[in-house]
Every structure is written in structure tokens, then in C-alpha cells.
Amino acid sequence: MSKRMVLEVCAFNIQSAVIAERAGAARVELCDNPVEGGTNPSYGTIRIVREKISIQLYPILRPRSGNYFYDEAELAIVKEDIRVCKELGCDGISVGIQTITGDIDMERFKQIVEWAYPMGVTCNRAFDATPDPYKALEDIIACGCERVLTSGQASAAPDAGKLLGQLVQQANGRISIMPGAGVRSSNIKKLIAESGAYEYHTSARKVIPNPMLHGNPAVLDSGNIYMADIEELKAILAIMQ
């Protein structure tokens, strides 16, 4: 019997988290800083999002952008953020940690999973930065994670259907392989056929026009507001179902 297909939405703000639930998604990965690939959301963001949505909530625990090789002070931040996520009633966390050579840091990842219990743990795209995805998958399984968020070590998951399918076969039900990055309604049908995965991850994001009535063109660091597109999410879910 095949498993029910699940959509996780990467939400960069509270509005996107609410849209994700309204569209019918099963889980929100809550992040800040979309330009840097996602970093820790604030305490206030996690608390208010938890109050606003009833679907699963997995904040990303990534204290900075760049790599996933953390020093002891950064690991202490992760530990404290795990405590906060438990306190606020999160269902799990999305996190990853590597050694200086790029392998999964099994010793410290096992410690993170232990700290997080009974919350679930998704290994985030630190997996995509490892030198050997097949070894990394076994390491992550041994650490006790419940899923791997991965683009198949490509820029976008739809470009890596073959490797994703191989990872699903290797996992053999021991862990969920969740393709993510570049997943849209225009490509998910092919990705499902190639990978055989049952969980998928998307931000379905679009840029929202700036509503401000005044702006200074000399200020260049304001960035964009990204919002989940509810119609795109519904289209993805319709194909998955």
C-alpha cells in the first residue's frame, strides 16, 4: 500500500505559513532570510506562527548562512533554539551539521537528535553539500533523522530525478527522501515519476509588490517580500493527489 503524499511548504513569513495551511499543505518549514537559503526565524515568529496554524511546524535551525560546519558556540545556539522550539510546541526541526571535510558530523548530529526528542528531525540541505550522497544517507539514518530534504545535489530537484530515485530505493522505507528546491506545478508530475518519493518541499513563492507610498532609491538593502502563491500550492497538491 503506497503512502499518502505529503507537501511541505517553506515559509519565509507568517503570511506564507497561513497560506500553506489554507492551501492544504501538511507541514511548514519556517525560515527567515530567503536570499541566503534560509536561516533561523525569530522567537516571536515561531510563537505567533504556532498560534496561527495547526499543521506541523518545523523551524529551520541554521544560525547563519554559508556552510554547515559549526563551532561550539554555534552548536550551543542550536541547542538553545531546540529548547525554544520545544517550549513553543513545534512538531520538529530542520537542521544539518557537517565536518570540515563535508561529511555528516554523526557525533554531533546524534546529539542534536537526542536534544530534539520527542520532536522529529529533518536533515536539511546540508545533505546536498556532502561529497558522497549514498554514504551521507546511511549516516543520517544512523543519526535517527526521519527525513532528508534534498535537491539531489543539483541546483533544483527536478534536475536530479535519477539520483533522487536511487536515494529512495536505498532508503527502502527507513527514512523519507523529500525532494525540494525548484519544485513547481509544472515539473512535479515528472519528479514524482522519476523519484518515487512521497514527500515534497516547495516555497511556491512569488515577489509581492512593495506597498510603501514612499521609498528612497539610494537604499539598496531592503530586498523583496516573498509570499507563498496559494494558487500554485493548490495546483501542486492537485497533481500530488
Give the whole-angstrom CA distance, residue 37 versus residue 128. Answer: 13
Q: What is the pLDDT of residue 103?
A: 98
Q: What is the pLDDT of residue 1?
A: 37
Mapping DSSP to helix (H, G, I), strand (E, B) and coil, where does residue 28 land? Answer: strand
Domain 6-208+223-240, CATH homologous superfamily name and number: Copper homeostasis (CutC) domain (3.20.20.380)
Q: What is the pLDDT along the chain (241 residues), one digit of tens a residue?
A: 368 999 999 999 999 999 999 999 999 999 999 888 899 999 999 999 999 999 999 999 999 999 999 999 999 999 999 999 999 999 999 999 999 999 999 999 999 999 999 999 999 999 999 999 999 999 999 999 999 999 999 999 999 999 999 999 999 999 999 999 999 999 999 999 999 999 999 999 999 998 889 988 888 777 889 999 999 999 999 999 9
Containing 116, the helix (H) or strand (E) segment is helix 106-116
The pTM of this model reads 0.94
Angle, helices 14-23 vs 230-240, to 10°: value is 40
CA dihedral 131, 133, 139, 140 (to 10 degrees): 120
Give the whole-angstrom CA distance, residue 17 versus residue 204. Answer: 12
